[in-house]
Structure formats: C-alpha cells, structure tokens
Amino acid sequence: MPDFLTEIDQSWTLFLDRDGVINKRPPNDYVKSWAEFEFLPGVLEALQIFTKKFRRIIIVTNQQGIGKNIMTPEELQCIHDQLILEVEKSGGRIDAIYFCPDLATRPNSCRKPSVKMAMQAKIDLPEIDLAKSIMAGDTLSDLQFGRNAGMKTVFINTNDSSMPATEYDLNYHSLHAFARAINAND
C-alpha cells in the first residue's frame, strides 16, 4: 500500500470527479436535472469518511453539455446545490465545485486534463497544497489532470474498464472502497 494513505490528515485536499465517481454516468448523455442524478452505492458514506479525513473536498467536472446547449449553467447549478445539500444531510461536505463547460474540441480549454480548475481552486482556497492532494476519477483525463497538477491519483474503476497502471497510484472499484481503505489506516 502506498505510503501517502497513512499521511492523510487535515492538511490534505481531495479532488473528485463527478459523473462515474459520485453519481451514475448516463450512457451517451448528460445529467441535465436533479431527477436524472443518482448517487452511486456507498458514496454518501464515503463522503462522511472523507469529511473527517480531508481539510478540503472539491469536485472538478467537465460539463460540455453546457457548451452543446443541452443544459444551462443555471440548471447545472441547481444540480450541484442539491448534491451539496444531500451530502450535508448525510453528514458529509463538499467545499467547492468547479466545472468546465467547454466543448472537447475547444483549444486551450479548461477541460481535464488541463489543470485550470485545480489552479482556480488554489486561488480560491490558498491553503491547498497540490502535493498533498489526491485526484479520484474514473477516466484517463481525470488521472492526467491529477498528475499534471502534481497530485496523487486514484482510479475509481466503477465500470470495470482497463487503465494502464502507470496512470494512477491506487485503484479501487468504488469511491466507498477507497474511503474504507483510508479509514483502515486509523
């Protein structure tokens, strides 16, 4: 087991992808309303554990559905407001959510694997130390985002997909399994 799990304390930050990590990713579609949002099993419990372990918990999510005019920033904000409320009701917390509305084809985009969302989080929350941060995601762009920003990376393999082991530091089948592994280090 990598040493950094035993080092996690209130000086660390956890960055999380949203779709496929926190909630079910709709196949070939976008979550466009709260009615379409479905937490993955164990996520709320995982966020309770993370709340006790990390100083900051931040969601970073590519949301090109906005760029495609499938949804508006206001509709996305409503989803995120409800997400934060549900997490808080269950005893967890989300400190901030950053999203990139850019199309994948846009040059110089803020989309992961660009580190622009991490840099904005660091500006907004200057106590963030990216060397003491973890990015947990289910796609190559999530893991590359973490690596590009100097973070540790955790592959959340909710879809039993293959990923080269060189792209991540740890691999778990769910966010809940990752939280249990962190909790086991107490």
Q: What is the pLDDT along the chain (186 residues), one digit of tens a residue?
A: 467 999 999 999 999 999 999 999 998 899 999 999 999 999 999 999 999 999 999 999 999 999 999 999 999 999 999 999 999 999 999 999 999 999 999 999 999 999 999 999 999 999 999 999 999 999 999 999 999 999 999 999 988 788 989 999 999 999 999 999 998 876
In the set 9, 17, 102, 160, the catalytic residue is: 17
Decide if 186 is catalytic: no
DSSP-derived 3-state class of residue 85? helix
37-56: b or e for each residue (b if 16 or more CB lie within 10 Å)? bebbebbbbbbbbbbebbbb
Catalytic status, residue 129: no
What is the count of structural domains for the chain? 1
Q: What is the CATH number of the domain that holds 93?
A: 3.40.50.1000
Task: List the domain range (segments joined by +) for residue 63.
Answer: 4-183
User: Which residue out of 19, 95, 102, 138 is catalytically annotated?
Assistant: 19
